[in-house]
Amino acid sequence: MSLSAAPACPIVLIFALLGVAKMLALGPMPELAAHAGFTTASYRVIGALELAGAIGVALGPVLPPFGALAGFGLLMLLAGAVITHTRKGDGLSKLVPAVVSAALVAWYPVLLAYVI
């Protein structure tokens, strides 16, 4: 497994699952959307962007520029998540997953730089 493929696996898994769950409005996703101040339709768009990011990251070891762009796109989504949770006054239990995911995703383009 290459250096860039190792962190790609959990990133792809996390964002593909979350993206599909948001797009299909599964389980608590409609309530989470409402809590964050989004409609279910706009939450579905966020889910589609997460799924697109997961696909781009999965392609990263083969096509590093796409992987890097996908990683930066996911970082933008995660920045929005951190801002939203902070504005809503959510506790650490809701903020930490976004911050940890951002840290994982932030390393991905750095590792891809060694592949290019």
Q: Mapped to the 3 state alphabet, what secondary structure does 66-88 carry? A: HHHHHHHHHHHHHHHHHHHHHHC
| Mean pLDDT for the stretch of residues 16-27 | 97
- Tens digit of each residue's pLDDT (9 = 90 or more) over 91-103: 999 899 999 999 9
Residue type, 52: A
What pTM, to 2 d.p., does this model score? 0.90
pLDDT at 5 exceeding the cut of 80: no
Give residue limits of the domains in the chain: 5-113
Residue type, 64: P
The CA–CA distances, whole Å, from 57 to 15, 111, 113 equal: 10, 12, 13
pLDDT at 116 exceeding the cut of 60: no
Q: Are 37 and 88 in contact (CB under 8 A)?
A: yes
Q: How remote is the C-alpha of 88 from its chain's centroid? A: 20
Q: In degrees, to the nearest 5, what angle opens at C-alpha 14 toward C-alphas 88 and 26?
A: 65
- Tens digit of each residue's pLDDT (9 = 90 or more) over 51-64: 999 999 999 888 88
Residue type, 21: A
**Which pLDDT value is given to residue 83?**
95
- Tens digit of each residue's pLDDT (9 = 90 or more) over 61-106: 888 888 899 999 999 999 999 999 999 999 999 899 999 999 999 9
